[in-house]
């Protein structure tokens, strides 16, 4: 970045500062400089600094007021440090902050370079990426600032997500923070920035995604929550809950049921560790999303109930590779199949439930990492029908449906649905008719519906994450 021979640098502190061909304001403009860029100082003439721009390979003159001059040795470290500390939390001055941090890295000797410096660099780069990804951004200087940041080696990755482009910092500085130690807050910031779910490329393959999630879990394990204030620890717990929920599905998908169960238990535990009273306002939506993700794969850690003999039972067999076949069999006449269906989703045997009359059998089927459906086998006349209840009528993403109980006569099925719709978690507690499975009553809270409140089972109430 900075050549070894350079002793004095001028850091540009204003946007659109002109680099003149001669020390006059009327002289032709050689280049337009932006805040954060650095120039080598070679002299001073008539109120102008004679400089050389290594990036553009061009000499020129610039007004002294538009730059700050520092010799790149240890004497400048305190001044540079003070400016970095100031700029670190100044919105809009990310490029300048990155320039100062780079100059500080160059000026300081190795013993003075600690995790704080990389924390500042990462924070600035992260904020610049956020600024660039903002929909409301009408920032003229943004492109130039991104250019300046990239000239210092700050890599911002471009990710296409839901029809829009998002810039994400590659996290190099945060990796160094985790490697060098640093304060618990800094480590937390680093871990959260490195495991940001919105910065995961949606085009990642399943195997790559699993490897990434395992790495994310390992990164999150490097932060100790004991020394963090509760509201910050909450963020870590939420992120861990999300990651372990994803891992629970992925491991179970690959046939490692025990690892999947452990991950699911861990995700539930991490979610339970979140102190709601200390939850920051901006984390509330993240809490809801994490709860939905955990609930989607929590069947992995629920033990299977004992099989009653009289009711129709559900048998699971292996079909083609990756396929599970469900067969509804009558315990009284073994060998006869009442209904059968094969799926490429994960069928959770512990979720099999029957209505008291034995006319409805439900099972949870997780089709995607955060998408769990409720499959309902219901007896209509002499035959049995299979209907799948989806969390919401949207493209499969994040959501789940779970059985909350049956009415005593078995004519109604109570379900709880939660899904992430347009960035918000939508919860609904519904009473469905058994025949059509169409909602008869819908409430946003379980207590708002009398039928639901009355007949939802204790099993569901003790286990559900929908009531938070």
Partner 1 sequence: MNIQNIQEKLSEVLKQSVFLARTAGAAVVSRVRWFAFTPKGRRIATGLALAGTVFMVASSPPITLVEPGQLGIRMNLVTGNASELREGWALLVPQVHRLHLYSLKDQVYRPERSIHANGPAPFQSAEGLSIGIEVTLRYALDPARISALATSMPEDVGQEIVEPVIDGVLRRHFAQHTVREIFATQRREIQKAITDEITPMLAKDGVILRSVTLGNVDLPQQYRTGVESLLAEELSAEKMRYTLELKEKQIKETALHAEADKVRREKAAEASAAEEIIAAKARAEAMRHILPFKEKEIEQRRLEAEAAKVSRLTQASAEADARRIEAEGEADARRKLAESDAYRLEVTGKASSEQLARESELITKNPLLIQKTLADKLSDKIQVIIAPPQAGGFIAGNLLGQAAPSPRHANTMGSNRSGARHSNSSEYGSESGDGSEDAQSQEE
Q: By C-beta, is 279 or 386 nearer to partner 1?
A: 386
Per CB under 8 A, contacts with partner 1 among 366-385 are 367-368, 371, 373
Six token digits for residue 179: 């490697």
Taking contact as CB under 8 A, which single stretch among the options 71-79, 99-107, 117-125, 387-395 is the one that binds partner 1?
A: 387-395
Number of residues that bind partner 1 (CB under 8 A): 21
Stretch 214-273 residues interacting with partner 1 (CB under 8 A):
253-254
Closest to 352 measured CA to CA, from 340, 363, 343: 363
Q: How far is the CB of 373 from partner 1 (least distance, A)?
A: 6
Beta-bridged to residue 84, according to DSSP, are: none
Strand positions, DSSP E, 294-382: 313-318, 324-329, 337-343, 346-354, 360-368, 371-380
Out of 21, 31, 394, 467, the only residue in the binding site for partner 1 (CB under 8 A) is 394
Contact residue for partner 1 among 321, 381, 383, 423 (CB under 8 A): 321
Instruction: Report the DSSP pairing between strands 346-354 and 156-161.
Output: unpaired
Q: Going by DSSP bridges, is the β-strand pair 164-169/156-161 parallel, antiparallel, or unpaired?
A: antiparallel
Q: How far is the CB of 254 from partner 1 (least distance, A)?
A: 8
Q: Could you say whether residue 390 binds partner 1 (CB under 8 A)?
A: yes
Specify the residue, 388 or 467, whose C-beta has the smaller distance to partner 1: 388
As measured in angstroms, the least distance from the Cβ of 287 to partner 1 is 25
Torsion of CA 173, 177, 178, 181, to 10 degrees: 170
Whose Cβ is closer to partner 1: residue 223's or residue 419's? 419
Q: Which residues contact 292 (CB under 8 A, 6 or more apart)?
A: 370, 398, 399, 400, 418, 419, 420, 425, 465
Asked whether 177 and 119 are in contact (CB, 8 A), the reply is yes
Q: Would you report the helix, strand and coil content of the chain in percent, each value rounded to 5? A: 40, 30, 30
Work out whether strand 58-63 and strand 360-368 pair parallel, antiparallel, or are unpaired: unpaired
Q: Which part of the chain contacts partner 1 (CB under 8 A), choosing from 60-68, 280-288, 299-307, 341-349?
A: 341-349
Q: Which of 395, 423, 458, 462 binds partner 1 (CB under 8 A)?
A: 395
CB nearer to partner 1: pick between 371 and 452: 371
- Beta-carbon contacts of 4 under 8 Å, excluding residues fewer than 6 positions away, are none
- CB neighbours of residue 458 within 10 Å: 8
Tokens of 331: 């315990």
Q: Among 114, 184, 396, 439, which residue sits at the site for partner 1 (rule: CB under 8 A)?
A: 396
Closest distance of CB 317 from partner 1, Å: 16
Binding mask 192-221 for partner 1 (x = CB under 8 A): -------------xxx--------------
| Interface with partner 1 (CB under 8 A) | 205-207, 253-254, 321-323, 343-345, 367-368, 371, 373, 388, 390, 393-396
């Amino acid at each position: 970045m900075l050549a070894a021979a350079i002793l004095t640098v001028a850091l540009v502190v204003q946007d659109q500062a002109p680099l003149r061909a001669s020390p006059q304001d009327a002289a032709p403009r050689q280049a337009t400089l932006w805040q954060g860029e650095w120039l080598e100082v070679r002299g001073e003439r008539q109120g102008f600094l004679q400089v050389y721009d290594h990036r553009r390979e061009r000499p020129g003159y610039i007004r002294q007021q538009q730059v700050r001059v520092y010799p790149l040795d240890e004497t400048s470290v305190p001044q540079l440090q003070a400016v970095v500390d100031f700029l670190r939390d100044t919105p809009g001055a990310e490029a300048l902050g990155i320039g100062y941090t780079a100059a500080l890295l160059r000026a300081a000797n190795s013993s003075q370079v600690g995790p704080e410096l990389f924390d500042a660099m990462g924070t600035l780069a992260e904020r610049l990426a956020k600024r660039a990804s903002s929909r409301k951004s009408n920032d003229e200087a943004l492109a130039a600032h991104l250019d300046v940041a990239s000239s210092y080696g700050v890599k911002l990755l471009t990710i296409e997500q839901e029809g829009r482009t998002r810039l994400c910092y590659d996290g190099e500085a945060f990796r160094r923070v985790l490697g060098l130690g640093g304060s618990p807050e800094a480590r937390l910031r680093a871990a959260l920035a490195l495991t940001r779910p919105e910065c995961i490329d949606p085009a990642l393959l399943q195997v790559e995604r699993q490897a990434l999630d395992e790495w994310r879990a390992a990164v999150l394990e490097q932060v100790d929550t004991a020394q963090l204030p509760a509201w910050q620890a909450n963020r870590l717990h939420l992120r861990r809950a999300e990651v372990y929920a994803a891992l629970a599905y992925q491991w179970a998908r690959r046939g490692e049921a025990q690892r999947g169960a452990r991950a699911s238990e861990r995700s539930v535990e991490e979610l339970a560790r979140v102190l709601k009273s200390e939850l920051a306002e901006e984390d509330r939506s993240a809490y809801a999303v994490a709860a939905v993700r955990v609930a989607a794969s929590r069947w992995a850690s629920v033990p299977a109930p004992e099989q009653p003999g009289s009711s129709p039972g559900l048998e699971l067999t292996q079909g083609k590779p990756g396929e599970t076949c469900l067969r509804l069999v009558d315990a009284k006449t073994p060998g006869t199949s009442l209904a059968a269906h094969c799926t490429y989703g994960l069928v959770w045997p512990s979720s099999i439930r029957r209505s008291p009359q034995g006319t409805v059998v439900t099972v949870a089927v997780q089709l995607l990492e955060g998408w769990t459906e409720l499959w309902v086998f219901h007896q209509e006349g002499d035959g049995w029908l299979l209907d799948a209840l989806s969390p919401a009528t949207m493209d499969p993403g994040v959501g789940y449906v779970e059985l909350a109980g049956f009415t005593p006569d078995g004519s109604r099925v109570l379900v709880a649905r939660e899904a992430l719709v347009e960035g918000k978690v939508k919860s609904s507690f519904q009473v469905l008719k058994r025949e059509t499975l169409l909602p008869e009553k819908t409430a946003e809270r379980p207590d708002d519906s009398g039928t639901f409140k009355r007949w939802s089972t204790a099993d569901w109430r003790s286990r559900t994450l929908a009531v938070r």
